[in-house]
Structures are given as structure tokens and as C-alpha cells.
Chains A and B, each alone.
Chain A
Amino acid sequence: MNINPNSEKPIFIQIAEQLEDSIFTGVFPEETKIPSTNEISALFNINPHTVLKGMNILVDEEIIYKKRGLGMFVKEGAVGKIRQKRQGQFYEQYIASMIEEASKLHMTKEEVIALVERGYDNE
């Protein structure tokens, strides 16, 4: 996890995104405990209220849930939910900005598609 205080993104959103990323990549598997607000707050020197606010985003999205007295746990099916969400955001986050940048560079649609294909070939 890495928090960038100079980013335009508010800290609590960064926290939510980083946690989500860690859950998605399997650092915190489903039905396991994630670090407490306490731990995250002390590690990055961030106000615990901010950390909690970030976590609450994931609670609202039903990616994590609170076990009374035990802490926050990753919900079953969280990875699938994140994948679904990210697929939904894929166009917004990547395609739209790619097209915008391409048009600034005066690149044609065909050129961009060719580049995408090249990317897949190299994989």
C-alpha cells in the first residue's frame, strides 16, 4: 500500500482503492481479516477517522464487513464484485482517456487499434 498525500485524490478514497486493490490481488483473501484502522493509521500517519471513512466505502460496496469485536473481514465473493465493478469502469478509466490522448496526438482510430493489437501480440 502506498498513500500519496500530494495526489488530487482525497486520502480516504486512496485508502479505499488501495485496500480494494489488495483484496483483488489476493493479499487479503476472502473471509480473512484486513488490517485495523489503528494499524493503517499508525503505519501511514493518517487520522484514524480518515481511514475509517475509506473503509466505510468498501463496507457500503459490500466488499468488506464488520465482525463485532473482531475487526473488518473480506466478504465472500468480494473479488468477483470488484472485478465486475472494474470492468464497468474500464471504458471510463482507460478507453476514454486513451482516445482523448490519441486525438491530441493526431492519431487515427486505425492507428490506435493497431497499437492495441500489437500490445496483445507482445503479451
Chain B
Amino acid sequence: MSKIQIKNVTKRYGDVTALDHVSFSFKSGKIYGFLGRNGAGKSTLINIIANRIFPDEGAVFIDGLPARENMDVHEKIFCMSEADLYDTGMKVRDHFKWTGRFYDSFDVEKAFRIAEEFGLDTGKRFKALSKGYQSIFKLTIALALNVPYVIFDEPVLGLDANHREMFYSLLLKEFEENERTLIIATHLIEEVANIIEEVVLIDNGRVLLQESTEELLETGYCVSGFAKDVDAYCLGKNVIGTDELGSLKLAYICGEKTEIPQGSSLQITAMNLQKLFVKLTGKAVDGNAVAGNAVAEKGDMKL
């Protein structure tokens, strides 16, 4: 029961189908990476989970309770949004105060502590903060809020490298101290690759894959060498993309690794999450023999 369950959710904007019968679950006690290209449908789904917009079909359930217009899920979920919905004329410290009144599980002292760590001036009004500090303000609230499900939509937008590191450390500390479900929607895949335990990849309004990060990295690899050797090796494998450098060919493969034939020019290297993401979603956008669609159809396949 402990999960965010997305059941058959469809959302259309005019002729555009932003989400197309999406069904999956965020299980409790994990850090999720919710990945997808711009316009893939990430924000739409997050907004539906957070009751900000309504699905045309389907529904979202949080621990079994419908998420739509339901105060019973108020203490269960929080969504730090990319859009600025806060009262821009209000001071940071007043925002903390009000959030504390709205949520029983909001730790005001912790919020002030985190703000201090980031160097966030709590006497400033929201609109007087720089873009980066506006993000910091929003994630400070999300980090100090001890609800079972927290969604971060582009949490590090405008943050410098130091602040990003700080955020990831704080996030992990929070997670360690109080295990809950954290969902991070981001474009900076490499930065979160080691943090997220499971990946949900969404593309063109459909779930392309949901897989543990570790397994995903294990199944994805790159083989390089002379083009003919590579082609021979790739036969019957799930190739998600290729690159060519003169007579050298690189093929990106998902699935079981087989032994390299003796004495061949082939080399196998790991593929990182970002590369995997780019190859998987890049192809789907081209619309040719799509790896993603193959995945969607063979639901039981590893990748």
C-alpha cells in the first residue's frame, strides 16, 4: 500500500497528448530519478500527482488514497515545484512560519538551520532573492518537511557547484535519518546517478523504462572496434545507438553481454547513465525502430 500509484493516467492539451495511459508506482523508501527530456511529460505528471492539474483519464493514489482533491494526503506528500508559486512579497522567514502552520511535519528550526548552511538570508523577500537562492529557498522547505513522499522538480536550477554538492549531501543525510521516498526530476543526470536507486524514464508521454540504477548500468554497455567486428557482435542484440569515428565504430547495447571473440579488435566499456539516457531517448525521438517502443512492448524484458 505504501506507494504513489499512477494508474492509467492520460492528459491531453488540445491535440498534444502529454501523458498517454501512464501506469507505474513510486514505492516507499527509495530515492527515485524521474528522468525525461524537455516536454516528455515529467512536469505534467508531477502536477497531476500534486493535485495542481487534473488527468483526463486515470487517477493517482498515494498510499491507496486518491490524490485528487483530498486533504487526507496533505501530510503525505510535498512537491517542490520548478514554477514559483510562493507569495513573492513575503519574507523567507515568514514563509517558514506559514509552512510550519500548514504542515505538522515541517521542522521550522531545521529549515532555519539549512538556510544558514546555504547562506540564505531569511530576512529577504522571495522576489529579492537571486534565481539560485529562490531554488535554495524552495528546496530548504522541501528538505525540512518530513512527509513520506517528497518530489523535487529540477531542484538545483541555478545553483552553483558548491550549493549543488551541499544539496545532494543534505538530501542523503535527510534520507538516512528519516527514510522516505524522494523523487528527483532533473536534467543533470550524471550528478544524481549515484544518488538515485531507481530510474523512471519517461519519453513522449510514455514510461520508457523503470529499473534499478544498478541493473540499468549493468545491462547497458558500449562495444567499440572495427565496424565489421562490431556489426557482427551486435547481431541479435538490442542496439540503442551507434557512433562512428572513421573506421572505428561504437555501438551502445542494452542486454546480456556475450564473450568477445578471441583475437578480435573489440573492446567493451561501461556506459554511464547520461549516455544511456541520451541514446534511449534520442532514438525514440527519431521515431525509427525504436528501442524504447521495443521495451514498452516487451514489458517483461530487462531493458
Q: Is the CB of A47 within 8 A of B173?
A: no
Q: Is A56 an interface residue (CB 8 A)?
A: no
Encode A3-20 as 1/0 by CB contact (under 8 A) with B: 101111011100000000
Residues of B with C-beta under 8 A to A5: 190, 193-194, 272
Complex: chain A residue closest to B171, CB-CB: A45
Q: Is the CB of A41 within 8 A of B270?
A: no
Q: Is the CB of B197 within 8 A of A49?
A: yes
Q: Is A29 an interface residue (CB 8 A)?
A: no
Q: Is the CB of A45 within 8 A of B175?
A: no
Q: Is the CB of A50 within 8 A of B194?
A: yes
| Residues of chain B at the chain A interface (Cβ within 8 Å) | 30-31, 165, 168-169, 172-173, 175-176, 190, 193-197, 214, 217-218, 221, 269-270, 272
Q: Which of A3, A6, A11 has the most CB of B within 10 A?
A: A6
Q: Is A57 an interface residue (CB 8 A)?
A: no
Q: Is A107 an interface residue (CB 8 A)?
A: no
Complex: chain B residue closest to A44, CB-CB: B194
Residues of B with C-beta under 8 A to A45: 165, 168-169, 172, 194-195
Residues of A with C-beta under 8 A to B197: 47, 49-50
Q: Is A82 an interface residue (CB 8 A)?
A: no
Q: Is the CB of A47 within 8 A of B195?
A: yes
Residues of A with C-beta under 8 A to B31: 47
Q: What CA separation (Å) do A50 and B192 show in the bound complex?
A: 13
Q: What CA separation (Å) do A45 and B270 show in the bound complex?
A: 20
Q: Is A22 an interface residue (CB 8 A)?
A: no
Q: What CA separation (Å) do A92 and B48 show in the bound complex?
A: 54
Complex: chain B residue closest to A9, CB-CB: B270
Q: Which of B30, B194, B195, B218 has the most CB of A within 10 A?
A: B194
Encode A38-65 as 1/0 by CB contact (under 8 A) with B: 1001111111111000000000000000
Q: What CA separation (Å) do A44 and B168 show in the bound complex?
A: 9
What would be 7 A-B contacts, judged by CB atoms less than 8 Å apart?
A7-B270, A10-B214, A12-B214, A38-B173, A42-B176, A45-B165, A45-B194
Q: Is the CB of A6 within 8 A of B270?
A: yes
Partner of A42, one of B169, B214, B269, B270: B169
| Residues of chain A at the chain B interface (Cβ within 8 Å) | 3, 5-8, 10-12, 37-38, 41-50
Complex: chain B residue closest to A38, CB-CB: B176
Residues of B with C-beta under 8 A to A37: 176
Closest Cβ of chain B to A38, distance in Å, is 5
Closest Cβ of chain B to A40, distance in Å, is 10
Q: Is the CB of A50 within 8 A of B214?
A: yes
16 further A-B contacts with Cβ under 8 Å, apart from A42-B172, A47-B194, are A3-B194, A8-B269, A8-B270, A12-B214, A37-B176, A38-B176, A42-B173, A45-B172, A45-B194, A46-B194, A47-B31, A47-B172, A47-B175, A47-B197, A50-B197, A50-B214
Q: What CA separation (Å) do A6 and B169 show in the bound complex?
A: 20
Partner of B176, one of A10, A41, A44, A50: A41
Q: What CA separation (Å) do A49 and B172 show in the bound complex?
A: 10
Nearest 3 pairs of A and B residues by beta carbon: A8-B270, A45-B168, A46-B194
Q: Is the CB of B175 within 8 A of A48?
A: yes
Residues of B with C-beta under 8 A to A49: 30, 197
Q: Is the CB of A47 within 8 A of B196?
A: yes
Q: Is the CB of B173 within 8 A of A11?
A: no
Q: What CA separation (Å) do A11 and B221 show in the bound complex?
A: 15
Q: Which of A7, A10, A45, A49 has the most CB of B within 10 A?
A: A45
Closest Cβ of chain B to A103, distance in Å, is 10
Closest Cβ of chain B to A67, distance in Å, is 18
Closest Cβ of chain A to B223, distance in Å, is 12
Q: Is the CB of B176 within 8 A of A48?
A: yes
Q: What CA separation (Å) do A16 and B270 show in the bound complex?
A: 19
Complex: chain B residue closest to A3, CB-CB: B194
